[in-house]
Structure 1
Amino acid sequence: MINTYYIFFIAILVSFVSTPFVKKLAKAINAIDVPKDERRVHKKPIPKLGGLAIYLGFVTALIFKNGPITRPEEGILIGSFIIVIGGFIDDLIDLKPWQKIFFQIAAASTLIAFGIKISMITNPVSNSNSYIKIGYLLGIISTLVWIVGITNAFNLIDGLDGLAAGTGIISASTMALIAFLNGQSRIEAQVLSLILAGAVLGFLPYNFNPASIFMGDVGSQLIGFLLAAISIEGAIKSASAVVIAVPILAFGLPIYDTVFAIIRRKINGKPIMQADKGHLHHRLLAMGLSQKQAVVTMYLISAVLGLMSVIVMQLTNTRAYTVLAVVILIIVIVAFKFGLFNHKE
């Protein structure tokens, strides 16, 4: 078997090498993103389906990891395959929102069937690392909401070249560090996080501005789904981690941007699933930043939030949730100043 850290490079290599072939496939089956409206930033048709290369890198590296495939990993493999199928179809024919949700719920349900489920939360009013077990039904509902929510959050943030990919790498790296700090009990989450980071990193050279291929829904949903699943295994299942606070900070950028989008659309009387140009990356472009500058700015924001999640994990529950509350308050104030709540087309 291969050393844990070597599989990181295997994921990079497989993803990097397979991307040109995926690009040819996308062109052959006409999976092309044509800029049909002003919301799209690119000006010429770009092939999609780049997420297939990420998936190949992830699966290949997971097969070569030390030890046999565990039951939770089997669930992640099957669930991610369902996400890939749904995303592939969506990139070809544009599924309706409820159809996309169907695939996401099916994938999340697979995780639950294989034992990947939220079963506890930390006690926010305790200074020790005590936690509260939640009931079976509430655990299932919480897991479904978390998986579907994070999957869609990364799907929505995929609006600029390299944005979702870079954010995914930062989030996966954060989860790997958190799992490492949690010790041997979280080694599985550490390995999965490193594999995912490597698979996305191998794809990023083709996707960074100017992108020659987009990851498509098959990629953005896959990254969100895998991060949500890994976070349950790595942070949410760990009694020593500050459950909820850690992943909410680690995945902060796509989570908050999605929440602000929902609020903004409700305020403007628009359907929640209707796309608009009020996302943070649109506001940065409107301020005069180039695509690269906007993406790097959002990388920095994501990295700072990731660092905050690592710091929070070292604190007592009460202090950790206090930090989370302060961070959220600051983000809300900044978002209000940027017009992320009331922006109109």
Structure 2
Amino acid sequence: MIKYFIIFVIAAVISFAATPFVKKLAFRLNAIDVPNSERRVHKKPIPRMGGLAMYISFVIVSLGFYGANKQVIGIIIGATILVVMGIIDDRRELPPLYKLIAQIAAGVVLIIFGITVKSITVPFMNEYLYIGYWGIPITLVWVVGITNAINLIDGLDGLACGISFISSTTLFCVALISQRDVAIILTLILSGACLGFLYYNFNPASIFMGDTGSQFLGFVLAAISIQGAIKSVTTVAVVVPILAIGLPIYDTLFAMLRRKLNNKPMMSADRGHLHHKLLDRGLSQKRTVILMYIISMIMGLLSIIAMILPTKTSFMLFMFVCLFAYVFGRKIGILRQE
């Protein structure tokens, strides 16, 4: 456990130390977020591209600990593709299609390096179904979906970073239970990188992670949840990974359904996300973020419980959470037609 603690601290310190330099670089590159729409909740220009600090920390500590490990290299190459795309997007907004192409390319890298979904859990049965080449499109959908989920929830100071910290910590516990060494270390590094950056990103934020950070965090969480290999996590069989990264996933699914009901393009922006609804109900930015942290921690705890429970019981727990999320979403107005 001392080794784990040291790795976590090193990742946090590097991220913390790198952020001021990334902030200066963002100003030089004119990667600045100017509040020019009603969706923006900040009032003054703030530098973006802060995710570069977390990326630097993750790469340094991962390579320092694992060296030329094949799967770690694959994750780093895929993350690099999205970080480069994110930096460009933080300087001048890219069309959604360009981002999608980069996300698919990063997913393809994972597949080339052997990180892919190979089987799925049969619901309510303690059996796995080998899916062969079907694992390739499922892997790509998972990577693109989680990457965009973190990107969409990045709407308030410290929200996406804090939730990613909670999700990576949850996946650390899950990997620890299943004794998956690589996943244990990578989740520790990622959570440390998130915590080091969160000091600057929490309300009132002095720097945003930008697409550089949200794309990086979403991709790495997706990759680790596949590589993490255990019962439900390796298979991406619905229960453990969806609960572990639950809040961004549900918020994204609700956004897709809401836009479908409103006959709006899937990639269009709106103020219907959970954090917007909580703000509209009078909560401050800080209270909204803390409340969403709590929800994310509860879902993380449920994912750990689901990991321990028999498969049938895990699916029953998952179905209950889905039903509760749907009822809560309707109650708070996330699905309401505009």
TM bucket (normalised to shorter chain) is over 0.9
Alpha-carbon distance, 1:298 to partner: 0.2
- The 2-side partners of 1:262 and 1:141 are apart by 20
CA-based RMSD: 1.6
AA of the residue aligned to 1:78? I
| 2:252 counterpart residue number | 258
Alpha-carbon distance, 1:257 to partner: 0.2
- The 1-side partners of 2:10 and 2:62 are apart by 9
Q: Retained in 2: the 8 A contact 1:172–1:193?
A: yes
Alpha-carbon distance, 1:28 to partner: 1.0
- 1:175/1:132 CA distance change after superposition, 3 Å: same
Q: Retained in 2: the 8 A contact 1:50–1:214?
A: yes
| 1:75 counterpart residue number | 74
Structure 2: segments with no counterpart, 5+ residues: none
Q: Matched residue of 1:3: which SS?
A: helix
| 2:98 counterpart residue number | 99
Q: Retained in 1: the 8 A contact 2:157–2:204?
A: yes
Aligned length: 337
- The 1-side partners of 2:305 and 2:259 are apart by 33
Deviations 1:162-181 (A, max 9, x none): 00000000000000000000
- 1:207/1:240 CA distance change after superposition, 3 Å: closer
- The 2-side partners of 1:188 and 1:282 are apart by 37
Matched, 1:322 2:329: no
| 2:208 counterpart residue number | 214
AA of the residue aligned to 2:300? G
- 1:49/1:74 CA distance change after superposition, 3 Å: same
AA of the residue aligned to 2:95? K
- The 2-side partners of 1:147 and 1:229 are apart by 7
Q: Retained in 1: the 8 A contact 2:226–2:234?
A: no
| 1:339 counterpart residue number | 333
Q: Matched residue of 1:121: which SS?
A: strand
Partner residue of 1:144 out of 93, 116, 140: 140
- The 1-side partners of 2:246 and 2:89 are apart by 26
Partner residue of 1:313 out of 304, 307, 324: 307
Alpha-carbon distance, 1:240 to partner: 9.1
Q: Retained in 2: the 8 A contact 1:242–1:317?
A: no
- The 2-side partners of 1:205 and 1:55 are apart by 16
Alpha-carbon distance, 1:5 to partner: 3.2
Runs of 4+ in structure 1 displaced over 6 angstroms?
Answer: 237-242
Alpha-carbon distance, 1:196 to partner: 0.2
Q: Matched residue of 2:3: which SS?
A: coil
- 1:292/1:3 CA distance change after superposition, 3 Å: same
AA of the residue aligned to 1:180? L
Deviations 1:110-149 (A, max 9, x none): 00000000001112131x3x2111121x100000000000
Give percent identity, aligned residues only: 55
Partner residue of 2:178 out of 165, 172, 182: 182
Deviations 1:237-291 (A, max 9, x none): 7789883210010111000000100111111121111110010000000111000
- The 1-side partners of 2:233 and 2:278 are apart by 39
Q: Matched residue of 2:157: which SS?
A: coil
| 2:225 counterpart residue number | 231
| 1:118 counterpart residue number | 117
| 1:278 counterpart residue number | 272
Q: TM-score, normalised by structure 1?
A: 0.95
AA of the residue aligned to 1:37? S
AA of the residue aligned to 1:106? A
Q: Matched residue of 1:178: which SS?
A: helix
Q: Retained in 2: the 8 A contact 1:235–1:246?
A: no
Structure 1: segments with no counterpart, 5+ residues: none
- 1:163/1:266 CA distance change after superposition, 3 Å: same
Q: Matched residue of 2:228: which SS?
A: helix
- The 2-side partners of 1:220 and 1:240 are apart by 23
AA of the residue aligned to 2:263? G
Partner residue of 1:157 out of 153, 158, 167: 153
Matched, 1:295 2:289: yes
Q: Retained in 2: the 8 A contact 1:242–1:313?
A: no
Alpha-carbon distance, 1:295 to partner: 0.1
Deviations 1:167-215 (A, max 9, x none): 00000000000000002xx110010000000011100010000000000
- The 2-side partners of 1:241 and 1:139 are apart by 9
- The 2-side partners of 1:91 and 1:68 are apart by 30
Matched, 1:132 2:129: yes
